[in-house]
Structure formats: C-alpha cells, structure tokens
C-alpha cells in the first residue's frame, strides 16, 4: 500500500476528536494529557509509558515526559472524563442491551514494589486439573454489546484483597451492576458459573433486571415443591430443540430443553435451560426471561454463548496493548491507566462503526493486511492498522493544542500638535 501523509493527518484528527468528546469539561492540561495517552497507546500498541513517550515526538527529555505522565496518572481517573465516556457509550447501545460481567487477572510474577500486590489464579497457565497461582491483581469487568455486536467496557476495576479498605469481590461486582442499571433502565446480565451465588440472584431481582447465569453442579432448585439438584433435572430430560452453534472453533448441533423451577434465593419462578451435546456434561442456564416458545429458548442460549466476546475483549486488551506490562506502581495510577486503555478500546469500536466504504477505515484495514476478509471480532486488525498508519508520523499531537493569543495592535506614537 502507498502511504500518504493525509491518512496520518486524518487518523490524528479522528483520535483528537474522540479525545475531546471525553475531556471537553476538563482543564486544558488534562485535555492535553488524555490526548497524549490515547494517541501514544494507539500509536505504540503498548501501555508502557516509555513506549508512549517515544510516539509523542516531543523535544523535551524523555525522563521529564515520563514524569509528567506519571504525575497525571497518580491523580486517578477524572470523574468528568468517566461521566462523558459513559454518556458517549450510551449513544451506541440499544435500549435493552446485553451486559457481560466477568473476572480476569493481571499477573506480575516478578513485581515487588507494586502496591497491595496479591495472589491470583493465572488463567493462561491453569488447566481444568491444575491451578497455577502467581502474584498479581484481580480485574472485574462489565462490557455491553453495542449495535455493531462488539463489546465495550462500562466498568473496569483492578483490585486486590491486600487493600486496606477491601471488602469483597461481590461488592465490586455489585458496583458494576449498579452502574449498568443507572446507565440503562433495563438490561440482560449474562454471567458464567463463578456468579452462581444467591447474592447475585437477589441483587438482580432487587434491581428488576433480566439475567442468564450458568449454574454449577451444586445448585439446588425447587421443582414441584421438592428441592432437587439441578443435575438431577438435567439427567431426567433430553434436548428437543436443535440449535447449530459455532463452539470452540467447530460447528456443533446443540439440543435444548427447558423447565420451570424456583431458585433458593428469591423463591421466584425462573427457567432452567439445558444445553446438550456441546460439553461433557450438559450446560445448565438459569434465566428469569419469559419462555413461551422454542425461539425464546434459542434466544436464551445464544445470549449465554455471546459471552465469548468479553473473553475475547480481555485477550485483545492484553495482546494489542500489553496490558500486563505496565510499570506504574500505585493502584490508583494503575486504574487510571486502565481507564485510558478502555478509551482506546472504545475508539477501536468507534472506527468499526464506520461504513465499510469510509476512506479512513479502508486505509486502516489495508495497512493491517489481514489474512481473512471477514471476521466476527475486528479489534485486532483495527489496532494493527492504526499503529501502522501512525508509524509514519513525525510529530505527536501537542501542536494541535496551540495557545490562542489575542491579536495585539501595532504600537504607534501619537505626535503632539
């Protein structure tokens, strides 16, 4: 591809336009900082401050610029910026969105100076038979599926049980639910087996929200006035509704069934949706969504299987921007850096929503030089293409924030007559 400076200029303008929407209510130094962070992360494909500084192309000494960025990060996440981000995000979402909540980890095995560093299960090395624990932080994330069917984060917090004011992971999860409920009047929360907890069901019922939660083998349900294990109900039935699904890289024919039961927490009628022939043991999904036909059963199953998008969101965040490679030590600064990474992920979604014939989007995809023409998750190629276009830039974005000075009249002497 022939690279033109116009692509670089348009890319900078797009990034600055997006940054200004987030920082419009902040002082000018904060607006400059947010623009620097967004541009630097997207251009470098890294959250390491030294890599970000390399892309800013400023004449100052590198160590001085790193110190400046570090001082801003130490202030934490600006509330006005978060408010503006959520307001912008709401414009992309449907009226009744799907929200995925999941936990991940940030592993720092060689870290010693990081604040409140705890121990976490390393998901990349752990298996079904063996758990591997390393030093690191927990990450609680809530993403919403927008109209383009891509995930965008509405809540992301890095936390540790070693913090002085830490209460429980459940309270952080409740904070994510409360933010989503405040942003959207009605939503459907989709969660995995780790959230099969009476407290979760009670919380969602109290907020009047829909949910699809996968159950564990220990769950008991009330069926015909008798408490039985969910596995017993699962073994009694067989799937009757056929659903072709792409699961773990292959097409499968799943078979679905459902039964009305009650949960131990609220004693409200819910539905147990059973998914056969995909895994060794059939999946058990609990939902309070009304089921009146086989289409409703299929819809509930598809809602749960859309959960792979938040897992792909975690993976892309770590691979594209080296999420686990940060060096800032204070937890407040780490969460601030995480917020600016979230903004960059939202910017990728902003680009993905553009028309396929948009000149800038076409240039980004051509620069990325993808192997496949069509994919379901486009963040990887967009990040690669944006970084490739910005690699031709000779200057950062500081010159776009020139101080506007008043035009002074020329000095003239009045002669006495």
What are the structural domain ranges in the chain? Answer: 5-77+342-401
Q: For position 50, what pLDDT does the model report?
A: 95
- For residue 415, what pLDDT band results from cuts at 50, 70 and 90? low
Using DSSP, state whether 326 is helix, strand or coil: coil
**pLDDT value at 393 more than 80:** yes
Beta-carbon contacts of 324 under 8 Å, excluding residues fewer than 6 positions away, are 106, 107, 108, 318
Distance from C-alpha of 108 to C-alpha of 127, rounded to nearest angstrom: 19
Q: For position 405, what pLDDT does the model report?
A: 64
Q: For the full predicted model, state whether its pTM sits above 0.85.
A: yes
Distance from C-alpha of 408 to C-alpha of 260, rounded to nearest angstrom: 78
Dihedral (Cα; 374, 380, 381, 382), 10-degree rounding = 110
Least confident residue range of 114-128, 270-284, 323-337, 356-370: 114-128
- 296 CB-side CA count, 13 A: 12
Highest mean pLDDT among 52-56, 325-329, 353-357: 52-56
Highest mean pLDDT among 88-97, 238-247, 391-400: 88-97
Backbone angles phi, psi at 405, to 5 degrees: -105, 145
Token match 């292959």: residue?
250
What CA–CA distances, in Å, run from 219 to 171, 263, 284, 305, 324? 22, 9, 10, 21, 35
The model's pLDDT over 134-144, given as tens digits with 9 standing for 90+, comes to: 899 999 999 99
- Over range 77-84, report the average pLDDT: 95
Q: For position 178, what pLDDT does the model report?
A: 95
Average pLDDT value for the chain: 90
Distance from C-alpha of 203 to C-alpha of 171, rounded to nearest angstrom: 11
> Six-digit token pair at 225?
């006035």
- For residue 1, what pLDDT band results from cuts at 50, 70 and 90? very low
> Six-digit token pair at 132?
């591997």
**pLDDT value at 2 more than 50:** no
- For residue 413, what pLDDT band results from cuts at 50, 70 and 90? low
Q: For position 299, what pLDDT does the model report?
A: 94
- Over range 87-95, report the average pLDDT: 92
Q: For position 400, what pLDDT does the model report?
A: 75
Q: For position 221, what pLDDT does the model report?
A: 93
The model's pLDDT over 165-223, given as tens digits with 9 standing for 90+, comes to: 888 899 999 999 999 999 998 999 999 999 999 999 999 999 999 999 999 999 999 99
Long-range contacts of 287-290 (CB under 8 A, 24+ apart): 287/210, 287/211, 287/212, 287/213, 288/204, 288/205, 288/210, 288/211, 289/188, 289/210, 289/212
Q: For position 148, what pLDDT does the model report?
A: 80
The model's pLDDT over 232-264, given as tens digits with 9 standing for 90+, comes to: 999 988 888 999 888 777 788 899 999 999 987
Q: For position 183, what pLDDT does the model report?
A: 93
**Cα end-to-end distance, the chain, whole Å:** 71
Cα–Cα nearest to 310, from 98, 159, 35: 98
The model's pLDDT over 299-335, given as tens digits with 9 standing for 90+, comes to: 999 999 999 899 999 999 999 998 888 899 999 999 9
| DSSP 8-state secondary structure symbol assigned to residue 372 | S
Q: How would you classify the pairing of strands 188-191 and 98-107? A: parallel
């Amino acid at each position: 591809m022939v690279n033109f400076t116009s692509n670089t200029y348009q890319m900078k303008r797009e990034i600055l336009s997006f940054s200004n929407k987030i920082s419009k209510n902040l002082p000018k130094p904060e607006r400059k900082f947010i623009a620097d962070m967004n541009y630097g992360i997207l251009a470098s494909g890294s959250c390491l401050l030294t890599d970000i500084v390399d892309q800013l192309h400023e004449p100052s000494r590198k160590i001085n610029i790193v110190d400046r960025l570090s001082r801003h990060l130490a202030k934490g996440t600006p509330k006005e910026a978060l408010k503006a981000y959520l307001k912008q995000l709401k414009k992309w979402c449907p009226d009744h969105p799907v929200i995925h909540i999941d936990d991940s980890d940030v592993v720092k095995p060689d870290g010693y100076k990081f604040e409140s560093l705890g121990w976490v299960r390393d998901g990349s090395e752990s298996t079904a038979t063996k758990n591997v624990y390393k030093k690191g932080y927990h990450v609680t994330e809530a993403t919403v599926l927008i109209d383009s069917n891509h995930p965008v984060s509405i809540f992301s917090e890095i936390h540790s049980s070693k913090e002085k004011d830490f209460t429980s992971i459940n309270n952080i999860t409740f904070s994510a639910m409360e933010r989503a409920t405040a942003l959207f009047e009605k939503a459907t929360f989709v969660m995995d087996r780790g959230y099969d907890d009476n407290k979760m069901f009670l919380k969602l019922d109290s907020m009047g929200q829909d949910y699809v939660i996968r159950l564990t083998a220990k769950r008991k349900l009330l069926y015909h006035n008798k408490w039985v294990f969910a596995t017993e109900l699962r073994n009694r039935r067989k799937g009757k509704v056929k659903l072709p699904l792409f699961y773990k890289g292959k097409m499968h024919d799943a078979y679905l069934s459902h039964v009305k039961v009650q949960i131990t927490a609220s004693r409200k009628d819910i539905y147990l949706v059973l998914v056969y022939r995909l895994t060794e043991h059939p999946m058990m999904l609990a939902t309070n969504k009304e089921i009146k036909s086989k289409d409703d059963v299929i819809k509930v199953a598809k809602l749960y299987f859309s959960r792979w998008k938040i897992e792909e969101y975690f993976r892309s965040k770590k691979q594209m921007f080296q999420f686990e490679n940060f060096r800032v030590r204070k937890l407040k600064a780490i969460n601030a850096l995480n917020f600016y990474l979230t903004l960059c992920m939202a910017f990728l979604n902003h680009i993905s929503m553009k028309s396929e014939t948009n000149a800038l989007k076409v240039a980004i995809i051509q620069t990325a030089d993808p192997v496949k023409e069509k994919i379901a998750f486009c963040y990887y190629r967009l990040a690669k293409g944006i970084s490739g276009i910005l690699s031709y830039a000779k200057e950062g974005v500081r010159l776009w924030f020139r101080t506007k000075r008043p035009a002074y009249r020329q000095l003239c002497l009045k002669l006495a007559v």
